Amino acid sequence: MRGIGESFRVLLGGAPRKQKRDEFSKEAQEMHAFKGQPEQRKERIAKIREEMEEPKLSFTHTSFKWRKWRWASILLINLMFVVSFYYDVQLVEGALTASRFFGFHMADLNSALQITLAHKQIVVNLVIGTVTVGILWWLVGGRTFCSWACPYHLISEIAEMMHLWLASKTWIKDHPLDRRMRAVLYVVFAGLAFVTGYTVFESISPVGIVSRALIYGGGVALTWVGVLLFIEVFLIRRFWCRYVCPIGMTYGFLGTVSPVIVEYTLPDCLHEGECRKVCLVPHVLEMTKKNRAEDTTLSIGADCTRCGMCIEACPTGALNFKLRGTGGLL
């Protein structure tokens, strides 16, 4: 339970807690001591240097192995809405925030919360849609929605690549904010819905704006999306997703107990930090730092989007998709 509690605390914006050495498992203590031996340290440094000499395939120091599948997933999911509306085939009706799939109601969890608070009543179809979507994203891993379905995520990821390229040229620099801001805004948006009777967040959410623009055509609201992208390219890396969006936090709550996880294996890690460079939410990989892992195998926290970037960036296979409680790789 301590692991789930810590995962939940970090999701809400808390800094990853550094455990005391006497709180580490016996196996982890022995592994850290082993890696600290002079000959092991020299071997690790040599392997890191060898890894750094390998040619990189993208601005974010990783290949497109998982990214191409994620981008294809995002395009396919959102294209279903576009095709269904354009050809009136009624396969998927509505938009990503609320829809019907073959007549069966589907509802984004955060949108459903906003609507319930605004109207102060529980709608049966909304409950059905929420439960269905909740089970789906719980099964595949909480914030998987963010990196595998969200249309804004795709264009934001492209903006991040531009940000990293500009930063590598020292033309700009990142201005990170306090991650607790997202938890505060989560309460603020919920409170505004309850007090005003209006889903304030939905009117400014780039997820809904982009989804509706793809299906029904663009409008003035896309200007707001442009402002967000400007901020993310030139000022704050991943501004919306890391510091504002309550949708990701809502799905993150499911991620605390989702069966699909990314698992970290201490003995295989070189601690060179390539995984944290590419991670969309690098605070979840704090245990990959030298002398930080309290056990030899650990589950990555609830804020993980299961994007797979860290897995392909890791040169030794220390990170892998797993089913919780099993030894099986996915």
Residue 285's domain is classified under what CATH number?
A: 3.30.70.20
Last residue of a domain, one of 210, 237, 253: 253
**48 assigned to some structural domain:** no
Report the predicted TM-score, pTM, of the whole model to 2 decimal places. 0.88
- Together in a domain, 79 and 216: yes
Per-residue pLDDT reduced to its tens digit, 21-60 = 888 999 999 999 999 899 988 888 888 888 777 655 444 4
Size of the chain in residues = 330
Max distance between CA atoms of the chain, in angstroms, equals: 68
**50 assigned to some structural domain:** no
- Together in a domain, 206 and 299: no
Tokens at 97, concatenated: 């925030």
Q: How far apart are CA 24 and CA 29, in angstroms?
A: 6
Q: How far apart are CA 73 and CA 172, in angstroms?
A: 31
Per-residue pLDDT reduced to its tens digit, 196-250 = 999 999 999 999 999 999 999 888 999 999 999 999 999 999 999 999 999 999 9
> How many domains is the chain built from?
2
∠ at Cα 143 (56, 274), nearest 5°? 25
Tokens at 309, concatenated: 């970037």
Look at residue 255 in the predicted model and tell me its pLDDT: 83
**150 assigned to some structural domain:** yes
**280 assigned to some structural domain:** yes
Q: How far apart are CA 20 and CA 301, in angstroms?
A: 19
Domain that holds residue 90: 65-253
- Together in a domain, 243 and 293: no
Handedness of CA 160, 165, 166, 168 (dihedral sign): positive
Last residue of a domain, one of 227, 253, 279: 253
**146 assigned to some structural domain:** yes
Contact of 228 with 239, CB cutoff 8 Å: yes
**233 assigned to some structural domain:** yes
- Together in a domain, 151 and 279: no
